[in-house]
Amino acid sequence: MPISSRIKDAMQNASWIRRMFEEGERLKKEVGAENVFDLSIGNPLLEPPEGLRKKMFDLLRNPEPRMHAYMPNAGYPFVRQKVAEFYTKETGIQFAAEHIVMTCGAAGGLNVVLKTLLEPGDEVLIFAPYFPEYLFYVDNHGGKAVVVKTNEDFSLNIVRVEEALSDKTKVVIVNSPNNPTGVLYGHYHMQALAEVLNEHQRKTDKVVYLVNDAAYRKIVYDGRRSTYAFSFYKNSIEVTSHSKDLGLAGERIGHIAVSPQACDVEALINGFTFCNRTLGFVNAPALMQRAVADFQFVSIDVQEYQKRRDLLFEALCEMGYQMVKPEGAFYLFPATPEEDDVAFVRKLQKKRVLVTPGIGFGTPSHFRISYAVPMQVLERAISVFDEVAREYGL
Ligand SMILES: Cc1ncc(COP(=O)(O)O)c(C=O)c1O
């Protein structure tokens, strides 16, 4: 076997999202893509804003010398400056270009952060339901993921956080707005989390970094705003991207922002820059850095996702499914009408609707629906959810 046993094992336990995606692809070949209603993968639906496309054309039509050459591994200083201005304006904390590292998406950024911070065996707290890739990212860099269950409404359970912290805890990852639940962690929970982490740091005399995966930060509904961990906890790091807010998932552009008040901020940035290079990313894509620099305050039309959230949430509630109303991102995470979420998902699959079982997110007896799909697909899927609800007598 050419591949290592570690990777073989990881692939065998591979993320449910991917597995369902592959099964869906097979089904599409069998019955035709137009006859499969795929709500299993979080591929952003909306195209990048028109102004951004124009910016890309302009960059290519009027190339600057060495525009495609290597650059500093942390990214172009002028782009880092623009990103820093965004955080200064949003948080009231003075960020500078030196607090930003441009990355290949949030996925690249999370790997850079974990590679830089973790000693072998260091623990990383993640909250279930979780984004499944966290398990692999932590393992990539010799860490140990410690899963902390959230409350019934998917809010943070601070008592469980306290119990899970140990003198090996180096990183806590929060993800708000959350994939798969759509929940936002508001001021109350962020404040409580910060207090527990501060107390833990005092007791152990060790620094714990709070990493906020904010990949969906700008996709929030009903006029809400996502909180910034920076405002509550000084050892905070935000990792994010423009995959969702500017519809650029395939272009791999994101960044890491470190709180100017964090311990050893200069060492952190130097470490992130080094790992960006040596993990093989080298630097974030040059053209995309230039393209997004002036689009820090822009996003796709969030109303388009909100319309879909409203339609789906109201329809499912009426049918008798149980769920928490999402406040952001583009997912719903209802309870399955039977305990076995895989069996439930297979039942939907037979009716050509693809969703992902909750077990893939560390939370069985639930299923995740991605509503980043065209309205016709959503409407057809809703009629199947209704048919299935009746079969279960909801
Ligand atoms: C919670 C979360 N974090 C990170 C990512 C990675 O996003 P990207 O690397 O495209 O920025 C995703 C992608 O779906 C996600 O859902």
Q: Is 292 in the pocket of ligand 1 (CB under 6 A)?
A: no
Would you state the pLDDT for residue 24? Answer: 80
Kindly tell me if the per-residue pLDDT of 6 is higher than 90: no
Pocket test for ligand 1, best of 131, 356, 370 (most atoms within 8 A of CB): 131
Would you state the structure tokens that stand for residue 55, as one six-digit string? 């910016």
Q: Tell me the three state secondary structure of residue 211.
A: strand
388: Cβ below 6 Å to ligand 1?
A: no
Residue 274 has pLDDT above 80, yes or no: yes
**Residue among 126, 181, 213, 226 whose CB has most ligand 1 atoms within 8 A, to mutate:** 213
Span 231-260, pLDDT tens digits: 999 999 999 999 999 999 999 999 999 999
Q: How confident is the model at residue 15 (pLDDT cuts 50, 70, 90)?
A: low
Contact 215 CB / ligand 1 (< 6 Å): yes
Contact status, residue 23 vs residue 354, Cβ threshold 8 Å? yes
Matching fold, domains 5-48+300-391 and 51-295: no
Atom index in ligand 1 nearest the CA of residue 42 equals 14
Stated pTM of the model: 0.96
Q: How does pLDDT run across 299-324, given as a tens digit for each residue?
A: 999 999 999 999 999 999 999 999 99
**pLDDT grade, residue 23 (50/70/90)?**
confident
Please name the residue whose Cα sits nearest to atom 3 of ligand 1: 215
Residue among 362, 356, 367 at smallest CA distance from 145: 362
| Greater model confidence, 230 or 33 | 230
Which top CATH class is 51-295? Answer: alpha beta
Indicate whether 17 pLDDT > 70.
no
In short, whether 176's Cβ falls inside 6 Å of ligand 1 is no
Planar angle of CA 245, 112, 224, nearest 5 degrees: 30
pLDDT tens readout for residues 127-151: 999 999 999 999 999 999 999 999 9
User: What tens digit of pLDDT does each residue of 41-73 get?
Assistant: 888 899 999 999 999 999 999 999 999 999 999
pLDDT band, very low/low/confident/very high, at 212 (cuts 50, 70, 90): very high
Identify whether the C-beta of residue 242 lies closer than 8 Å to the C-beta of residue 255: no
Q: What residue ranges in 229-382 does DSSP mark as E strands?
A: 236-241, 254-258, 331-332, 353-354, 356-357, 367-370
Distance 106 CA to ligand 1 centre (A): 6
pLDDT at 22: 78
Q: Which CATH architecture has domain 5-48+300-391?
A: Alpha-Beta Complex (3.90)
Q: What is the average pLDDT score of the chain?
A: 95
Give mean pLDDT, residues 106-115: 98
H or E segment to which residue 85 belongs: helix 77-91
Atom of ligand 1 nearest to the CA of 108: 9
Residue 235 Cα to ligand 1 middle (Å):
22
The alpha carbon of 147 is separated from its chain's Cα centroid by a whole number of angstroms, namely: 17
Report whether residue 284 contacts ligand 1, using a CB cutoff of 6 Å: no
What residue ranges do the domains of the chain occupy? 5-48+300-391, 51-295
